[in-house]
Each structure stands twice: as structure tokens, then as C-alpha cells.
Structure 1
Amino acid sequence: MEKYYKKIIALSFVILFFITSLSFSPKTILANFDVGVNSAILVEGKTGKVLYEKNADIELGIASMSKMMTEYLILEAISEQRLRWDQNVPISPWVARLSHDEAGSNVFLEVDSSYTVKDLYEAVAIESANAATIALAELLGGSYTSFVRLMNDKAEELNLEKFKFVNSTGLPNRMYNAENRAEGTTSEDENRMSARDTARLAYHLVNDFPELLETSKIPMKNFQGNIVTDKTWMQCKEDWTCMKNWNDMLPGLPNFYEGLDGLKTGYTVLAKYTFTGTAERSGTRFISVVMGAESIEMRFIETAKLMDYGFNNFDKLNMQESLEVSVVKGKEKELMVSSVEPLSFLIRRGEEELYTPYFELDSNLLDEDGNVIAPIEKDQVIGWLSYEYKGENTFSYLTEDGYTKERVPLLANHTVEKAGWFSLTMRSIGGFFSGIWTSVADGVKGIFS
């Protein structure tokens, strides 16, 4: 959605306007920037501002990136106390059998062993464990079919547009026995989303449950044990109790990228190699999605290119503003308002001069002439400080309210009490006679002109 603004009444303002550069080496903006995958997108993590996209609205296979929706539903249930981290998760016979399929990504599970929600959630987030995903889905949904329905319902609630969930794992449905598939799905089905909607899901996941990054950033961990620091990633892969993160851009793994702490990889024949990544440096977070890469390494190479594009070609611009507005029906006729905090937003490097402050006063506090109506309390929200862009490189957002995340409140610097009845009456009388005197003066002037 493009950014729109309402008409604003601004009488005068004092501007403190400065640029804060991200702490990275400046590089030339890549005018013809491209990535070597079928579909991709790069967005700012805080606002969902889209910085780059390529075929982002094509619905494609997403493979294990599907597990981000499973993670969202688990974390939501934890936050709403419908699940507990220490709650025991029953393991059905077919889940136990699936967990021993060494051809897939799994941790070994047994029917008669004990596992907590936290144990299996970590297996999903780190190892991308398929059987653990199904066990959690059955626990939360009550049945596998019900959980898949929850996935699609949540996608609609999050305003995803191009999606289809047929299972919790992202595996091709043909890998499920008929009796274990969600009702209404077929063996030919597979989970799908567009890159834009995958980024939307990741955006909500990171912003609604930022604690998930504490798990997704773990390179290696023993199942039901401690974080692994005394093994190489190759040694971890050979040990079935050691969960090695499929995200090879984490510290100590083959494609390490500074600041990257999530999020989810995937592979099927349909989807090819996919990856939703997120990285933060100096307080700026990006989310990227690459789909249809030809190899494991390529999905990380192209992700690094997207992240480099973001960190090397965009800066933070800060505005700290004050504005003097007219007041009616008050003991004072002017009110100074100020932004409660600096407005900080991402811009293309070199476009600082194309941005100016933009003030929007709360229409509920104004008369028909745009004056603020007393009484006003100190620190009352009078409106919002945003910006106006006069360049050609406009941005869209993942969500309809994305632009509202690039504004800060304007607060009243002091109290303006409502004037008493007598003062208001005298002002009205003064205004009346002033109007008559002006009319008489204009008439006399007309006679002698």
C-alpha cells in the first residue's frame, strides 16, 4: 500500500533535521540490482517497507518455510496460556515412525518417552523436525485436520493473500499416508505462498513474538539438552542427538553472515531451495525471502546479496520537531507541541534532501478553521509527526497500516485551560465590534477613493 497523508494545518515549526548513517561501509547503490532466484523480496523488519522485490506475488512451493506458521500458532497459544512450555506432548505411533525416517529432517521420538512443548518447539525451530511439528499440531489442534484449518484461518487473519496450507510441515502430501492427511487434501497437494506473503508471515512472527529469535539463532543444540559449542557442524550432523540448524548463515556455520539470527529454510522438488532470513545491525532489521534457488548454497548467497543491498544502500533519517498552533476558547492563544521522540525511518542513501517534516493534527481537537480547541492538558496527544517525500522512488508496505509505523505523536508542551465565560463573552463582543469597525473603515475608504 502506498503512503497517503491528510491535509495538515501547520502555522510555524522549528526543525532539527539530521541523518544517522548505519554503521557499515558506504557502497554505491546498485541501480540494476538483481538476484538469481525465481522470486524474492526484501523488507524492513520494523515497518514492512518493501525495499526490493522480484516476482513477489507468484504463488510457489514453500517447503519447510511452512513451519513458520506452525511456530506462530504455538507461540500464540503459549502467550494466551492455551499451552505451556513444560506441557507434555503425546507421541502417536505414526509420528514415532515418521521421526525415524532418516531421509527427512527429524529428531527421534518414541511413543513411551516424555517430551515437552519446549523440547519439540526447539526441534522444529532448529532442526526443522517434521515429526515434532506434527506432534505439536495434533496437540494444539486436537486433530491434524483441525490444525491445518487453524493455519489457513490464521493466514486470513494476518491478511495473507496467496497461500495454501495442506499440512504443518511443508512436506509434499504424497509423503503422508492417506489416513494421516488432513481431510480435504490430496496426495498431489503441497503448501504454497507468494514471496510477499511469506515475508508478511515472517514480519508478523518477528514483531509479534520477537522471543523466537532466541531459538532460531542457535546454530547447534542437543535435543532436550544444552547448546553445543564443543563440536563442529560436521560432527553435529553425524550425531542424531545433536540438532544442527539448517540456516547455514549463523555463527560457526558455512555461510555465516553478521547479524543474521533467523529464520527458516526449506526444500522440496517443487519448491527447490528456499529461505526466509532476518538480520539486524545497529538497530535496523531486514527480512528477506528467496524462493526457487537451484542449490543449498545459492539460497544463502542470494540472501546475502539481498541483505547487503539493504545494509549498504539505505540509511536512517531522524527528525525531531516542534510546532506552534493557534488555540481558541483558551486562556492562551498559542500552544507549542513537540514530537515525543525522534522520528526515525529508512531512506535510500543520498535522498536526504527529498524528505520534509509533515504534521497531522487530530481533527477531533480542531474547529472548522483548524484551530486547537481548549482545554488542552500537558502531554496530551495533539497529532502526529510524519514526513513527505518528494522523490520518485516510492515504497509500498506489507500491511495496510505500515505507514503509521513511520510517525510519532506530537504532545502538548504545556496546559491550556479553557477561558472563563466572561472572557469568552468579551472576546465575542470585541470580535463583533472589530468586524463593524472594519466595515465602516472600508466604507469610508471607498467614499474617498
Structure 2
Amino acid sequence: MMAVILFFGFFTGFGKAEAETALNVNAAGAILVDGKTGQVLYEKNADSALGIASMTKMMTEYILLDAIKKGRVKWDQQYSVSDLAYKISQNGDLSNVPLRKDGKYKIRDLYQAMAIYSANAATIAIAETIAGSETNFVKMMNDKAKQLGLKNYKFVNSTGLNNKDYQGMQPKGTSPDAENVMSPRSVATLAFRLINDFPEVLKTASTPTKTFVEGTKMDNWNWMLPSLVFGYQGMDGLKTGTTDFAGYSFTGTAMRDGQRFITVVQKATDDKGQGGYKARFDETRKMLDYAFSNYKKEEILPKHYQVKGSKTLPVVNGKENQVRIYTKSPINMLLLNGEKKNYQPVFVLDKTKLTKDGKLAAPIKKGEKVGYITLQAKNGGKVRFLTPEGAKSVQTDVVAAQDVEKANWFVLMMRGIGGFFSGLGHGISSTVKGWF
């Protein structure tokens, strides 16, 4: 097939410029994407590797939920507390639920502590359960990141803590001053895959408060959940992160009227350049307000759309000498208000289906794919997505609209004879004209 016109590595020239003008996000890095397709709507330093702190735990969540799905770990499985998990859990300066040295805890309870309260020792416990040690788990994290197509990342522990907080017990092969880093685009891609591959994570991530064990209450650090101090309508996830190195960071997601957006801010500040809990939520709110107010899903091309000038293709050896073609399904895309007119269809024909003369060979079945249509901005800009799969959301197959049976030998013979005499008549006519 001809080369794909729409690559997933480029921006639209329209929405990007307007978003950058309307949004002045105070953060070292930020990104705003469509939660269903991964379409990128705004970005700032999106490919810079920055600190992520406890947003690291999204990768631990992904690996755990995958292990649960595949039956390698059970929710009611019991964990016996290791020396490392116990030591970390007793550090009152870190986000933790205290673990008893002789205690046993269910994986589900540890998962909830991690997802709701960002409990670090509980996260280490999960890593040890899955991989035997946090050292082994860190390798799994980096391998999974590569598998998910992430770039500009490095995981050195399962929690997002500064390695120095491990007090010499950090994962083997990592230095005491090492930090987890990811780019905003990779953080968004991880969040996108997490909530789409394991949507059940949002039920836990959206829990405002929960009791771990009697006397240990866990309050969610995502203060944008609707019932909390910076409540935002539709907010149901996903993960905060705060360290001196990473600053105040947050991966948020909210859904209204069926439309979901994902945001990432790393090292967020206020207008005066000061970081803080409020700053990261204010900058997130800024992006979400812009998205919900200015974007909506629109039908760009309807089902059975026919491209002007390409409504039929020629057919060889068929009962008909041409076949009608149209799109198999509509193309819908999230668009900035008033932006629909700025896009045009691009028809990409599958040349492997054609003869040397550029025709389709009969027989042809109705619904048979002959190419595809994708969208291109009229100014030549491209649409950007987090994943190659997302890019396919703005393309549709072009198929045959009818059956074309192969002509029998008699019809083909008569066509040949007709062609012969047509050519002969043309030759005689030319000769006669030459006499005069």
C-alpha cells in the first residue's frame, strides 16, 4: 500500500497555535490529550525528561493490574512485610500507611493504599510480590515502558521517591541520588494506556477517602475530586507527585457528557513562579476548562462518502468496466470550535490491488477494501496522537460499493472483436482522410 499520509508524530497547524495562545500553562512541561483517541491538543516541552515523583506509581499500577488480569497475582493474596517495606513505612515524612513487621496484608488493600494515598511502602510491597524484589521490578518497569512505546524515561524505583529516601536500601544497580524521569508525552501515554486498558483503576483513583486498617485513614491527594477542596466536575483520577526534584506534578483526567481528557503538568507553579499544591491543580483546571469549552467531537466525513474525482475505479475482465467506491464508515474527530472547514480528505489507493494498467481485476466483492481515506489540514499540518493506533481513528477504509462479476469468455471475446474493429475503423478513417 502507498505510504500513510497521516503520521502520528505531527501536529495540526490550526488547534496548536490557538491553544498555545489561549493557554499559558505555568509548568516545566505539560500536555493535554483526548482520553479516547490520544489526540494531542496542547503541549509544552512535551519531550523533555522531567521528574515525576509519585506519578511513577501509574506504572506500578499498570503492571499490577496486568498481573491480576493474567492470574499471576490474586487480589486476596497475602503479603508478608519485608525489612525494606517495614523501614519505609515507619518514615513519617513520607506518604505511608504504617505496616507491622509481623503483619500480613492483602494485595487489594496495598493497591488501594498506593492508588488513593500514594503509600510508598505499600507500593514496594506490590513490587516485591510481583517480581520477588524491587530490583527485579524496576527492570520490569523499564521493559514495560519500552513495550508501551514510551520515550525519554528512566525508572530507578517503584515509588517515585528520591533514592536517598531508601537510606541505602534502594534497588540494586541504581545510585543513591538517582531519580525517576519521564517526558510529559510519555506520562500522558502511560495514563492513556492505564485508563483504557484497565478502566477499573478510575474507581479506586476517584475514592476521596478510605480506611486502610482500623485507625488508619487514607485521604486522596487528588484534591480536584469533586468532593474535595479544589473539586472539579467530572474529575476521577489519576495521580499526583511531589518531591523537591520533581516539584508539584499531577496527571489528571476528567469526563463530562461522554468526553474524557487527560492532562499532565510537571513542576507546576503559580503566576509568580512559586510551586505548590494549588498551583498544580490551577494549571490542570486551566487546561481542562479550555478543552471542555472549546473542543467537541464532530463528523468530518459521513459513511459512504465518495471523494470528488475518485467515485469509481476502472475494472478489467468484469461484466461492468468500472466499480463505485465509498468509505466504509464515517470519520469523527475532536475539533476546536469552527475548525471543521480546515480539513480535507486524502484518498490513499492500495496499488497492490491494481493491474499494470491501473485497473481492478474482476471479480470484485462488495465491501472489498481498495484503499483508505484520511484527513489532512489544508495548511499541510498533521494531526498528532500519542499512539499509532490513535492515528487510525481519523482514517477509514474505502471499499467497493457493489459486486462486479468476472465476464464470461464469450463477452470477453466479443469485447476483443469490438475493440479490433473499432481500431480498424479508426485506421480506415485516418487513411481516407489522408486521401484528401
Deviation at 1:425, TM superposition (A): 3.9
Among candidates 277, 285, 293, match of residue 260 of structure 2: 285
Partner of 1:63: 53
Partner of 2:136: 146
Among candidates 281, 303, 307, match of residue 284 of structure 2: 303
* Aligned-partner Cα distance in 1 for 2:135–2:431: 85
Equivalent pair of 2:19/2:41 in contact (CA under 8 Å): no
* Aligned-partner Cα distance in 2 for 1:130–1:418: 69
Deviation at 1:304, TM superposition (A): 0.7
* Aligned-partner Cα distance in 2 for 1:220–1:409: 47
1:316 aligns with 2:316: no
The CA deviation string for residues 172-199 of structure 1, in whole angstroms up to 9 with x for no partner, is 0001132x32111111111111212211
Which secondary structure state, in structure 1, belongs to the residue aligned with residue 422 of structure 2? helix
* Aligned-partner Cα distance in 2 for 1:209–1:201: 11
* Aligned-partner Cα distance in 2 for 1:385–1:244: 49
Which secondary structure state, in structure 2, belongs to the residue aligned with residue 124 of structure 1? helix
Which secondary structure state, in structure 2, belongs to the residue aligned with residue 222 of structure 1? strand
Which secondary structure state, in structure 2, belongs to the residue aligned with residue 383 of structure 1? strand
Deviation at 1:124, TM superposition (A): 1.4
Deviation at 1:69, TM superposition (A): 0.9
* Aligned-partner Cα distance in 1 for 2:194–2:426: 64
The CA deviation string for residues 92-130 of structure 1, in whole angstroms up to 9 with x for no partner, is 133133223332222233344443322222221111111
Which secondary structure state, in structure 2, belongs to the residue aligned with residue 317 of structure 1? strand
Equivalent pair of 2:20/2:42 in contact (CA under 8 Å): no
Partner of 1:417: 405
Among candidates 367, 373, 380, match of residue 385 of structure 1: 373
How do residues 11-22 of structure 1 correspond to structure 2 at under 5 angstroms?
Answer: none
Which secondary structure state, in structure 2, belongs to the residue aligned with residue 196 of structure 1? helix
Partner of 1:182: 171
Structure 2 counterpart of 1:215, one-letter code = T
TM-score, structure 1 length as denominator?
Answer: 0.83
Partner of 2:186: 197
* Runs of 4+ residues deviating >6 angstroms: none
Deviation at 1:88, TM superposition (A): 2.7
Partner of 1:219: 208
Cα RMSD, aligned residues only: 2.7
Among candidates 288, 295, 312, match of residue 325 of structure 1: 312
Partner of 1:244: 219
Partner of 1:108: 98
Partner of 2:5: 5
Partner of 1:15: none
Which secondary structure state, in structure 2, belongs to the residue aligned with residue 31 of structure 1? helix
1:164 aligns with 2:145: no
Q: Structure 1 residues 121 and 388 mapped into 2: Cα distance closer, same or farther (>3 Å)?
A: same
Structure 1 counterpart of 2:406, one-letter code = K
Equivalent pair of 1:339/1:385 in contact (CA under 8 Å): yes
Q: Structure 1 residues 213 and 375 mapped into 2: Cα distance closer, same or farther (>3 Å)?
A: farther
Aligned residues: 410
The CA deviation string for residues 190-219 of structure 1, in whole angstroms up to 9 with x for no partner, is 111121221122222223223322222222
Partner of 1:276: 251
Deviation at 1:34, TM superposition (A): 0.8
Structure 2 counterpart of 1:109, one-letter code = L
Deviation at 1:136, TM superposition (A): 0.9
Structure 2 counterpart of 1:310, one-letter code = A
Q: Once the two structures are aligned, what percentage of the paired residues are identical?
A: 47
Q: Structure 1 residues 372 and 257 mapped into 2: Cα distance closer, same or farther (>3 Å)?
A: farther
Equivalent pair of 1:379/1:412 in contact (CA under 8 Å): yes
5+ residue gaps, structure 2:
7-17, 269-274
Structure 2 counterpart of 1:200, one-letter code = T
Q: Structure 1 residues 346 and 447 mapped into 2: Cα distance closer, same or farther (>3 Å)?
A: farther
The CA deviation string for residues 315-374 of structure 1, in whole angstroms up to 9 with x for no partner, is 322021433433333333444444343211122222222222333343333334443333
Structure 2 counterpart of 1:297, one-letter code = K
Q: Structure 1 residues 346 and 90 mapped into 2: Cα distance closer, same or farther (>3 Å)?
A: same
5+ residue gaps, structure 1:
7-27, 225-238
Which secondary structure state, in structure 2, belongs to the residue aligned with residue 210 of structure 1? coil
TM-score, structure 2 length as denominator?
Answer: 0.85
Among candidates 306, 330, 354, match of residue 342 of structure 2: 354
* Aligned-partner Cα distance in 1 for 2:375–2:152: 32
Q: Structure 1 residues 97 and 409 mapped into 2: Cα distance closer, same or farther (>3 Å)?
A: same
Deviation at 1:66, TM superposition (A): 0.5
Q: Structure 1 residues 424 and 205 mapped into 2: Cα distance closer, same or farther (>3 Å)?
A: farther
Equivalent pair of 1:29/1:313 in contact (CA under 8 Å): no
Structure 2 counterpart of 1:283, one-letter code = G
Equivalent pair of 1:163/1:193 in contact (CA under 8 Å): yes
Q: Structure 1 residues 108 and 116 mapped into 2: Cα distance closer, same or farther (>3 Å)?
A: same
Q: Structure 1 residues 447 and 285 mapped into 2: Cα distance closer, same or farther (>3 Å)?
A: farther
